[in-house]
Structure 1
Amino acid sequence: MHLYRNDSMTLDEYFQIRENSDVLLEYIDGFVYMSPSPSTKHQRITRNLEFKLVNFLEGKPCELFHAPYDIELRNEVLEGTKIVIPDISIICNKSGFTEARYVGVPDLIIEILSPSNQSHDLITKLNLYMNYGVKEYWIVNPMLDAVSVYALNDKNMYEQHDMQIDKGEVTSKLLEGFRIDLAYIFKN
């Protein structure tokens, strides 16, 4: 993930740029980050995860949203505006929906790593999502065929709930009963 500009900008400047651009841009602490275009493998992984999750969520109160969809992270404790575009978001609290974005904290977020955005998803976003209270954060690594699942503990810190590399099933702590085989996630 690369900076759009090397200097910080206001939220109004960010929204002006977004109005005139089709580039996927995230706004974190005054800096604007550009998301890379997803690779073919990234797209397939997203499709496979979405298919299983949408089927699992049918009849349940939560909804799945996929990129590009803006999430304006907001809670009562932290100040400032952060707008992210997760690969997949699962949202159970419907009160934050606006016409343009979701304002609040998704219950579960999945990010699929690209070679150019690994540190952004592994460090910046992991800490951001933990601090804002995203209950579960999945990091999917297509380079290693690996999935790590982090869940908030009672101290509001992420603990690794599950991790699988190459084979096996990964499970969700939040979505009780949801499990998915790595062979399905990473199939072509």
Structure 2
Amino acid sequence: MHLYRSGTYSIEEYWQIRENSDALLEYIDGVIYMSPSPSTKHQRVSRKLERAFEDFLEGKPCELFHAPYDIELKSSNIEGTKVVIPDISIICDKTGFTDARYVGVPELLVEILSPSNQSHDLITKLNLYMNDGVKEYWIVNPMLDTITVYTLNEEGMYEQHDNKAETGLITSNFFSGFQVNLMEIF
């Protein structure tokens, strides 16, 4: 993940830049970040993981959205404005939908790493999602064929719920009964 431009911007300036750009741009506390284009493997992994979640969510009240879809993180304990574009967002509270984006805190977010965005997803977004109350955060590393699942505990901190490399069943803590075989994803 690279800075779009150096400096800080208001949310209004960010939306204006977004209107005139085809780039995937995120906004975190005045800083604009630009996401790289996804690789072929990234896209395949995303599609397979989306299919597994969609099959599980069939008939349930939660809904899956895939990138590019804007999530404006907002709740009573969130200061500042943050607009992110997770690879996969699962949203159960439908009150935050607008015509353009979701305003609120999704229950589960998935980020699929690229060589250029690893530190952003592993550090910046992990802390951002934890502090903003995202109940479960999946980090998928297609370079190492690994998935790590973090779950928000009662103290508001992420705990590692599951971690698998190459083979095995990865599970969700938030969605009891959801599991996916890594060999089907990678």
Counterpart code for 1:110: V
- Corresponding residue for residue 31 of structure 2: 31
Amino acid at match of 2:119: S
CA distance in 1, matches of 2:92, 2:16: 30
Which residue matches 2:122?
122
C-alpha RMSD of the superposition: 0.5
User: By how many angstroms is 1:41 displaced?
Assistant: 0.2
Counterpart check, 1:3 vs 2:3: yes
TM-score, normalised relative to structure 1: 0.98
Give the match's secondary structure for 1:127.
helix
* 1:91 shift after superposition: 0.2
**SS in structure 1 at match of 2:65:** strand
Give the aligned length.
186
Equivalence for 1:140: 140
- % of aligned pairs identical? 70
Alignment of 1:3-152 (within 5 A): 3-152=3-152
Q: CA deviation at 1:167?
A: 0.9
User: 1:169-184 to 2 correspondence within 5 Å?
Assistant: 169-184=169-184
Q: Amino acid of the residue matched to residue 87 of structure 2?
A: D
TM-score, normalised to structure 2's length?
0.99
How many angstroms does 1:79 deviate by?
1.5
Q: 1:138 is matched by which residue type in structure 2? A: W
Deviation at 1:85, TM superposition (A): 0.1
Q: Could you list the runs of 5+ residues in structure 1 that have no partner in the other structure?
A: none
Please list every run of at least 4 consecutive aligned residues from structure 1 whose deviation after the TM superposition is greater than 4 angstroms.
Answer: none
Give 1:23 deviation, angstroms: 0.5
**Which residue of structure 2 lines up, in the alignment, with residue 167 of structure 1?**
167
Report how far residue 78 of structure 1 moved. 1.9
